[in-house]
Amino acid sequence: MDGAMTETRPTQADAYSLILAAIDEGIYKPGDRLVESELAERFGVSRTPVREALQRLETQSLLTRDGRSLIVASLDHNQLAELYVVRAELEGLAARLAARHATVEEVRVLRDMVAADRMLTGNPNALSRANKRFHRQIHLASHNRFLVRQLDLVHRSMALLATTSLEAEGRGEAALDEHEAIVEAIARGEGEAAEAALQSHISLAFETRLKLESGDLRRQGGKGA
């Protein structure tokens, strides 16, 4: 080595994270076609890591084939129902474990999140992002790395949802009340209550989403949870 600085080349992991984030943020929506050359130019990476990232995303069923093209996958009704069942069970377990293992500092952070998020109720996009951060914090408070890993996979699939239940009128305020109830059960160390509160929260979110998709509720705009 002559001590000269070497250029750091973007890796497959970098490209994967960039594409996944773009799907999660709604830049690429279900049904959108992903072109290797366009992605490489957009993210400033070479085509090889982009190609490898696309293959990985296809393996994880986040992308699907449409002829020779890769498009962002979508979830049909049955897949959506299956996803919410698994999410409710795993997140409920995370809340129950958080009631047992969360530190005083973690509970304080959760309470602060709920308070701060109440300022976002008029902005479904921002509230959706905050909602993801809140749920992720509960996952971490479970102090179970294997559960966190499984929940990461579940929430990765949530990126395939083109809308958020939080865009229904009044749902943002109700969801935050539900978040508060979850946090207080965790703070009291009541595992069963925390689990029940979180599972009820997921059930209401799913019910709201179904009503939105059937046209029974008014939309405000947004994407995500």
- The domain spans of the chain are 12-72, 77-214
d(CA 175, CA 167): 11
Average pLDDT, the chain: 87
pLDDT computed for residue 211 by the predictor: 85
* H-only helix segments in the chain: 12-24, 36-43, 47-59, 77-101, 104-117, 124-141, 145-158, 171-187, 191-214
Q: Is the pLDDT of residue 216 over 70?
A: no
Q: Could you report the per-residue pLDDT of 114-172, keeping only the tens digit for each?
A: 999 999 988 888 898 899 999 999 999 999 999 999 999 898 888 887 667 777 778 88
Q: How confident is the model at residue 217 (pLDDT cuts 50, 70, 90)?
A: low
d(CA 84, CA 206): 7
Distance set, CA 111 to CA 41, 67, 104, 107 (Å): 42, 48, 11, 6
Which residues face 66 on adjacent strands?
69
pLDDT computed for residue 186 by the predictor: 98
Q: Which whole number is the average pLDDT over 177-196?
A: 98
Q: Which whole number is the average pLDDT over 33-58?
A: 92
Q: Could you report the per-residue pLDDT of 81-100, keeping only the tens digit for each?
A: 999 999 999 999 999 999 99
Q: What is the DSSP letter of 166?
A: G
Least confident of 45-49, 75-79, 214-218: 214-218
CATH number of 12-72: 1.10.10.10
pLDDT computed for residue 107 by the predictor: 98
pLDDT computed for residue 94 by the predictor: 98
77-214: CATH topology is Four Helix Bundle (Hemerythrin (Met), subunit A) (1.20.120)
Q: Could you report the per-residue pLDDT of 98-109, keeping only the tens digit for each?
A: 999 999 999 999
pLDDT computed for residue 67 by the predictor: 85
Residues 6+ apart with CB under 8 A from 35: 69
Residues 6+ apart with CB under 8 A from 131: 117, 164, 166, 175, 224, 225
Q: Is the pLDDT of residue 3 over 50?
A: no
pLDDT computed for residue 5 by the predictor: 40
